Amino acid sequence: MPKSTLSRLGKLKKSKEIYLDYAAATPLNDKVSLLMQKVYEENFANLSSIHSLGVNSKKILEQAREDVAKILEARPSEITFTSGSTESNNLAIIGVLNATKEKFPHIITTNIEHSSVLEICKHLEKIKQAKIAYVEVEASGIVNPKKIKQALRPDTVLVSVMYANSEIGAIQPLREIAREIRHYNKIHSKKIIFHTDATQAINYLPIQVPKLGIDLMSMSSVKFYGPKGVGVLYVKKNTAIGKIMFGGNQQFNLRSGSYNLPGIVGLAEALKITEKLKNKEVIRLTKLQDYFIRKITSQTFTPLIINGGLINRLPNNINITIPKIPSDLLVIELSARGIMTSAKSACKSGDGKASHVITAIRTAERGPNVGKEFSESLRFSLGRQTTKANIDYTIRTLFKILLKLKKWYN
């Protein structure tokens, strides 16, 4: 690497930056990084090879699978490694359709799911391979399980509801939804499959699958201080699901392709660390979240809305709307002062459209004719390196920016 580049990287590392975008991506844990480097150097052989290097690499893979399964209270055979939550969600939804005998299957989801769920559903509608029910959430961002119950039909094959929302942190009542599905299945002698995208939940919520009552669960390592480009789809035993990729028939003939062994080992290690830290981090971040909200709502000169409810919310999430102030402008202004935030889900940040999540909860709150100025949003997501001092500086800086932008209120 050229010396000038190394010098520039050194300066970047020393610069004062406050990262408040942990919901988009988390930094790689140092212990995870070292372990992955060791695997890169020593376990490069193809896991399908029958020579000693390949066999040893396969043992390392299966140990990682067992480690993940133990945390989820699942069987190792129920753990499929993927490239991340987007692939896991695609495999879950399209895989169920590939296995169903229903000619024109019905799928139920909510109107605030991640784009990797909603875009699949829209595509399936467009090509007329499925009928989709988009259940509307309440103003809190939480879906009423009774609405899911009302949407169930004889031709329903799948319900997909995320565990926690990436933009407003709303935690969905998975157990109650699972109970409604089980009751319907029992009465009608059916097997409606229940999938959840748990990407944002892993750091802070219980993820033991028997207690959640789910059949399929997606996650991505980059959200819990692991490497990018690796994820998991939990598939409960005897769940009817077909593959969507064809090739070498790896992973119980469900997901073909060479294994990303360093990434998989990194994911397993990151998940173990996360489980150890979870309880303490939830307590610490809940205090910081409460402090952040108290501080940011104490100023009266700025009309400000906290998006989503304050209960049943992830402890690291603060999402606000400042009417008439473009969110992207605030993100850029804060970034120029060393504070990293986001306007909405990172996967949709560049599309120039209002957040579908904020639009949905504002519509539930105010009705269908909500002005665009009420659909703007600014998300602060806290993490392991966030301190009280970071929050104080962020709020002071935000209000200085808003004072300069008062013309937007006129």
pLDDT tens sequence across 254-266? 998 889 999 999 9
pTM exceeds 0.75, yes or no: yes
Is residue 9's pLDDT more than 60?
A: no
* Every domain of the chain and the residues it spans: 11-28+277-409, 30-272
Is residue 367's pLDDT more than 80?
A: no
- Pair 343, 355: CB distance under 8 Å: yes
Closest listed residue to residue 47, CA positions, set 65, 31, 29, 67:
65
Q: Residue range 78-95: average pLDDT?
A: 97
In the block, residue with structure tokens 């699978």: 65
pLDDT at 303: 80
Quote the CA–CA distance of 284 and 181 in Å, as a whole number: 35
pLDDT at 2: 43
pLDDT at 11: 43
Query: For every residue of 331-381, which 3-state class applies, written as one string?
Result: HHHHHHCCEECECCCHHHCCCCCCCHHHHHHHHHHHCCCCCHHHCCCEEEE
Q: Which CATH class is domain 11-28+277-409?
A: alpha beta
What's the CATH fold of domain 30-272?
Aspartate Aminotransferase; domain 2 (3.40.640)
Is residue 1's pLDDT more than 50?
A: no
Q: What is the pLDDT of residues 57-80, one digit of tens each?
A: 999 999 999 999 999 999 999 999
Helix (H, G, I), strand (E, B) or coil at 201: coil
Percentage of the chain modeled with pLDDT above 70: 91
Helix (H, G, I), strand (E, B) or coil at 255: coil
Closest listed residue to residue 124, CA positions, set 138, 139, 104, 141:
104
Average pLDDT over the chain, rounded to whole? Answer: 91
- Pair 116, 233: CB distance under 8 Å: no
pLDDT at 404: 86
Is residue 3's pLDDT more than 50?
A: no
Q: Residue range 298-311: average pLDDT?
A: 85
pLDDT at 4: 42
Does residue 222 or residue 12 have the better pLDDT?
Answer: 222
Q: Residue range 298-313: average pLDDT?
A: 86
Given pLDDT bands bounded at 50, 70 and 90, which one contains residue 12? very low
CA 63 vs. chain centroid, Å, equals 25
Active centre residues (catalytic): 347
Could you tell me where the DSSP H helices lie in 224-345?
250-253, 261-297, 327-336
